[in-house]
A = this chain, B = another copy of it.
Amino acid sequence: MSIHSSLAAATTKLPIPVLSTYSVGHFEKLRLISLSTALPLAERDTLEPLSRRVSLDRKENLFRQDEPAGSVYNVSSGALRLYRILPDGRRQVTGFAFPGDFLGLSLLDRFNVSADALGPVTACRFDRRAFMELVRSQPNLMMHLHEITGHELSRAKDMMVLLGRRTADEKIAAFLMGLRARYAQIGWSAVTLELPMNRLDIADHLGLTIETVSRTLSRLDREGCILIVPGGVRLVDHARLDRLSAH
């Protein structure tokens, strides 16, 4: 079973279907580009024999915060939300995982977030110990993983700025633009930006309430900045979105 990076290119050329549902449509088509988006070919091949495939349905949990981290995962298809919950139920969605993303890569004893599927998900599971041993023996691979973690840390700091110092409008704009950029990275650009997560997930990600997210999106739509469509949005006024999300 070989993994073709050409698939990424192929998917960008797919006709853009008009969606009539809230589906997570395209994510399913992104199967198998997983490792190649993050790692060079040679390293991907060393990892592959170690992996076992897992599948999840919508709302199923992959792992929980503070649970002993026995595995490392690489998302193959679908999307997940990563979050923490406070004792009283308040939730912070720390991020979303998409095809190609690694989960549990910091190799700590315990997961530092919970993860569950936003729709059908498949992922590669690696035994943590075996993964660590392999990685330890391959300096280049290790450096790559460290680099990935470094980028994740940098994005975490982006989120801090967003959460601490930006208005609701800016948060929404930055979220949409950021999502678009990530989709582009995994080789999936489309006119319609699909939102596999619901309003509450977005709210808990941006430190807002569901009502504020809804109102802000509605207003941006009314003002011609975006266009709300079933299952996602279209970004219309790029100049304004750029200005709002600028950092």
> Is B84 a contact partner of A161 (Cβ separation < 8 A)?
yes
Q: How far is the CA of A139 from the CA of B137 in the complex (A)?
A: 7
Confirm or deny: A112 has a beta carbon within 8 angstroms of a beta carbon on chain B.
Answer: yes
Interface centre among A91, A151, A165 (most CB of B within 10 A): A165
How distant is the Cα of A136 from the Cα of B138 in the complex, in angstroms?
Answer: 9
| List of B residues within 8 angstroms of A143 by Cβ | 107, 132, 136, 142
Number of copies: 2
* A106 and B153 contact, CB distance less than 8 A: yes
Residues of A in contact with B (beta carbons under 8 Å apart): 84, 86-87, 90-92, 94, 106-108, 112-113, 132, 136-137, 139-140, 142-143, 145-147, 149-154, 156-157, 159-161, 163-166, 204-207, 246-247
Add 20 more A-B contacts to A106-B149, A137-B139, A145-B146 (CB < 8 A).
Answer: A84-B247, A86-B246, A87-B247, A90-B166, A94-B157, A106-B146, A106-B147, A106-B150, A106-B153, A107-B143, A107-B150, A108-B150, A142-B143, A149-B150, A149-B153, A156-B157, A163-B164, A163-B207, A164-B204, A165-B207
